[in-house]
Amino acid sequence: MNVRIVEVGPRDGLQNVQATVPTEVKVAYVNALSKAGLQEIEVSSFVSPRWVPQLADAEQVFTLIDRVPGVRYSALVPNEKGLERAVACRVDKIAVFTAASETFSHKNVNASIEDTIVRLRPVVASSPVPVRGYVSTAFYCPYEGKIEPDRVLAVCDRLVEIGCSEISIGDTIGRAVPEDVDRLLERLLSRFAASIVAMHFHDTFGNAILNVRRSFEAGIRIFDGSTGGVGGCPFAPGAKGNVATEALVAEFGSDSGVNLDRIEQAAAVITPYV
Ligand code: HMG
Ligand code: MG
């Protein structure tokens, strides 16, 4: 299996929906995704329910899903309180998150980039499960505009230094074009092995699959996708959903190990609610 698709729909997809999605629908969505051949599903977030009320039922979702052996069930964690909640739910992996833009970092987690690293260091050090580190606004910030690769590299260095075993590079507002991807990956992959780098493209302007293709050519084999293309970030105005998992499966075919019919069945569970 050459390509790993990380399904982030239940987390990134559902954190930004206006409607209230019933817990049992989220559970049915994750259960449907579990049958599709995915290796990893980001199920929810253990963030503040005041900040992201859409995912306040993370505990219930984790309790009610049927876990399929071989599938890693992960969740977003912003601080030590989040780690405690995640561990109590027996997550297989956590994802911590920071940004390459100071303004976005403040809007998203009420802290500077440096303060997020300080806050995350003990989380990563004491996590009993592997940790992914997200870098948001790695290409463009909705508040600061274009972000230079040096800033992204500096944040990746810190995430790896505190113990993240994977980094996911977020085009949070979906503005990157393939030339931006080339510029960043040329620098990033001279520093880090492609095997620890995931790309997380949102698809606001329809360039996500082109960016995926360019990343693949550069050596990346881990891609985040959202079934049905649902999603966005509540703290990034205008951000649309992630590249659709369907598009990734169509792009990589059997190399992804994911079954398109099953993904479409999962999409049918969630799309009436988003
Ligand atoms: P804060 O208000 O600065 O923190 O929020 P605080 O420590 O002062 O806590 C405030 C209240 O929240 C307290 O409750 C805490 O107990 C509670 P009170 O005493 O007022 O009743 N609290 C928590 N409750 C449950 N679980 C927790 C937790 N932590 C504190 N873990 C904080 C700081 C980081 C908590 C907040 O800003 C937050 O939760 N932010 C989350 C934002 C978020 O989820 N954004 C979307 C995900 S990132 C994303 O989408 C980008 C990504 O997809 C990649 C890309 O596309 O670029 C990953
Ligand atoms: Mg995202």
Segment 17-54, tens digit of pLDDT: 888 899 999 999 999 999 999 999 999 999 999 999 99
Other CB atoms within a 10 A radius of the CB of residue 205 amount to: 12
Q: Minimum mean pLDDT among 48-52, 195-199, 237-241: which range?
A: 237-241
pLDDT of 120 > 90? The answer is yes
- Interval 245-256 mean pLDDT: 94
Ion ligand 2: residue ranges with CB closer than 5 A: 12
Confidence label for 213 from pLDDT (cuts 50, 70 and 90): very high
Question: For residue range 105-117, what is the model confidence (pLDDT) as tens digits?
Answer: 999 999 999 999 9
DSSP helix/strand/coil, 91? coil
Class of residue 249 by CB neighbours under 10 A (exposed 0-12, middle 13-18, buried 19+): buried
Task: Please identify, by atom number, the ligand 1 atom nearest to the C-alpha of residue 82.
Answer: 31
- Interval 57-68 mean pLDDT: 98
pLDDT of 134 > 80? The answer is yes
Q: How much is the pLDDT for 236?
A: 83
DSSP helix/strand/coil, 130? coil
Cα separation, 188 vs 55, in Å, equals 32
Q: How far, CA to CA in Å, does 16 sit from each of 68, 82, 85, 235?
A: 27, 19, 21, 9
Cα separation, 78 vs 22, in Å, equals 24
CB 46 less than 6 A from any atom of ligand 1:
yes
pLDDT of 68 > 80? The answer is yes
Q: Which amino acid is residue 60, in one-letter code? A: Q
- 132 near 166, Cβ under 8 Å? yes
Across 61-142, where does the E strand assignment appear? 72-76, 93-99, 131-136, 140-141
CB 241 less than 6 A from any atom of ligand 1:
no
- 36 near 262, Cβ under 8 Å? yes
Mutate which of 48, 112, 224 for ligand 1? The one with the most ligand atoms within 8 Å of its CB, which is: 48
Confidence label for 235 from pLDDT (cuts 50, 70 and 90): confident
- 198 near 223, Cβ under 8 Å? yes
Instruction: Name the region of 259 (left: φ>0; alpha: ψ -120 to 50; beta: rest).
Output: beta
Confidence label for 60 from pLDDT (cuts 50, 70 and 90): very high
Residue 110 has phi, psi (to 5 degrees) of 60, 40
Task: Tell me the domain boundaries of the chain.
Answer: 4-273
Residues in the chain: 274
- The listed CATH number (3.20.20.70, 3.30.420.10, 3.30.9.10, 3.40.50.1360) that belongs to domain 4-273: 3.20.20.70
Q: How much is the pLDDT for 187?
A: 98
Q: How much is the pLDDT for 195?
A: 98
Confidence label for 232 from pLDDT (cuts 50, 70 and 90): confident
| CA of residue 127 to ligand 2 center, whole Å | 22
CA angle 138, 141, 147 (to 5 degrees): 50
Q: How much is the pLDDT for 83?
A: 98
pLDDT of 224 > 70? The answer is yes
| CA of residue 52 to ligand 1 center, whole Å | 8
Q: How much is the pLDDT for 261?
A: 97
Query: Percentage of the chain surpassing pLDDT 70?
Result: 100
Confidence label for 256 from pLDDT (cuts 50, 70 and 90): very high
DSSP-derived secondary structure for 150-190: HHHHHHHHHHHHHT-SEEEEEETTS---HHHHHHHHHHHHH
Q: How much is the pLDDT for 19?
A: 84
Residue 31 has phi, psi (to 5 degrees) of -65, -40
Cα separation, 155 vs 101, in Å, equals 10
Residue 147 has phi, psi (to 5 degrees) of -115, 125
Which residue has better confidence, 179 or 274? Answer: 179
